[in-house]
């Protein structure tokens, strides 16, 4: 299995130069050099099989040998809008959502939210998304949006399938079916849950209240369990 590196401006043919941090990782961490074959992906679906042909301090150049077939995507474009858990739990949530195949993640600000992630933290999380994509061999980066207020999320143009994590909602068997190619969003509230007013705002806007588990789940557990259930409930992957 080839080592993978991220190059956002990667061409489909010819020669490419890795960003400085990726070049350092290739040469200093992975200890690869001229003649080694690696994978390079641009985060937008393009991945290439490439050969290291030149290297120096802080830079590496590769010749593109071939374009690799894009790996299959989940059959649902899934957005997770979630309150932000404390500490490293958010790091873990972002990493695992990337591995699962979540298309987009929106940090959610609600009445009971405790953590308000600033741009420096979100930028660090975007780097962790790149690392997760390298590890799980995903070709498209999960999009991490700026933090958004709950009312703004509810009132924004949204996917037709909208699910609200709610202990009083429908069990799995009562969830609407998700057809191949549809987009969906799952919203997970903070510790203590959504307020009655926030829940009502969503229900009036067409969200479906769904019970993820009879037990009380932490934010990151609820987000990942809900996403996994929705992806598993959808049709076969898109070719």
**198-213 confidence digits (pLDDT tens):** 999 999 999 999 998 8
Residues 155 and 206 in one domain: yes
pLDDT for position 178? 79
Domain membership of residue 122 (yes or no) is: yes
pLDDT for position 202? 93
Residues 161 and 196 in one domain: yes
70 by Cβ neighbours in 10 Å (0-12 / 13-18 / 19+) ranks as middle
Residues 119 and 100 in one domain: yes
Last residue of a domain, one of 19, 46, 67: 67
Domain extent for 94: 77-233
Most confident of 31-45, 108-122, 146-160: 31-45
Residues 143-148: what's their mean pLDDT?
94
Specify the residue for token string 């600000």: 109
Residues 51 and 84 in one domain: no
pLDDT for position 1? 63
pLDDT at 76 over 90: no
Domain membership of residue 218 (yes or no) is: yes
The two three-digit tokens of residue 60, written as one number:
């590496």
Q: By percentage, how much of the chain surpasses pLDDT 70? A: 97
pLDDT at 19 over 50: yes
CA geometry: angle 127, 39, 139, nearest 5 deg: 55
Cα separation, 145 vs 133, in Å, equals: 17
Q: By percentage, how much of the chain surpasses pLDDT 90? A: 69
pLDDT at 67 over 90: yes
pLDDT at 7 over 60: yes
Q: CB within 8 A of 227, min separation 6: which ones?
A: 78, 80, 97, 100, 102, 186
Residues 132 and 213 in one domain: yes
Domain membership of residue 102 (yes or no) is: yes
Distance spanning both ends of the chain, measured CA to CA = 22
Domain membership of residue 238 (yes or no) is: no
pLDDT at 234 over 80: no
Domain count, the chain: 2
Cα separation, 4 vs 173, in Å, equals: 40
pLDDT for position 239? 44
Half-sphere exposure of 89 (CA within 13 A, CB side): 16
pTM of this prediction? 0.89
- Separation in Å, CA 201 to CA 58, 111, 113, 162, 163: 52, 13, 17, 13, 13
More confident residue, 50 or 1: 50
Residues 202 and 194 sit within 8 Å (Cβ to Cβ): yes
Residues 136 and 129 sit within 8 Å (Cβ to Cβ): no
Domain membership of residue 115 (yes or no) is: yes
- pLDDT tier, 126 (very low <50, low <70, confident <90, very high otherwise): very high
pLDDT for position 235? 57
Dihedral, CA atoms, 60, 64, 66, 72, nearest 10 degrees? 50
pLDDT at 16 over 80: yes
């Amino acid at each position: 299995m080839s080592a993978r590196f991220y190059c956002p401006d990667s061409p489909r043919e010819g020669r490419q130069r890795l960003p400085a941090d990726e070049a350092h990782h290739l040469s200093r961490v992975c200890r690869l050099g001229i003649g080694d074959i690696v994978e390079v992906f641009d985060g937008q679906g393009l991945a290439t099989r490439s050969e290291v042909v030149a290297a120096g301090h802080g830079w590496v150049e590769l010749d593109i040998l071939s374009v690799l077939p894009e790996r299959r995507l989940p059959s649902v474009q899934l957005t997770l809008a979630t309150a932000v858990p404390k500490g490293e739990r958010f790091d873990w949530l972002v990493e695992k959502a990337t591995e699962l195949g979540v298309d987009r993640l929106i940090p959610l600000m609600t009445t009971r939210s405790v953590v308000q992630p600033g741009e420096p933290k979100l930028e660090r999380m975007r780097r962790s998304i790149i690392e997760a994509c390298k590890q799980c061999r995903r070709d498209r980066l999960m999009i991490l949006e700026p933090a958004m207020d709950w009312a703004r999320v509810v009132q924004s143009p949204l996917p037709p399938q909208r699910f609200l994590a709610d202990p009083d909602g429908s069990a799995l068997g009562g969830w609407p079916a998700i057809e191949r190619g549809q987009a969906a969003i799952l919203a997970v509230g903070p510790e203590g849950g959504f307020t009655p007013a926030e829940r009502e705002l969503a229900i009036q806007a067409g969200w479906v209240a769904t019970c993820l588990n009879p037990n009380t789940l932490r934010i990151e557990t609820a987000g990942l369990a809900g996403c996994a259930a929705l992806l598993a409930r959808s049709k076969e992957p898109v070719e």
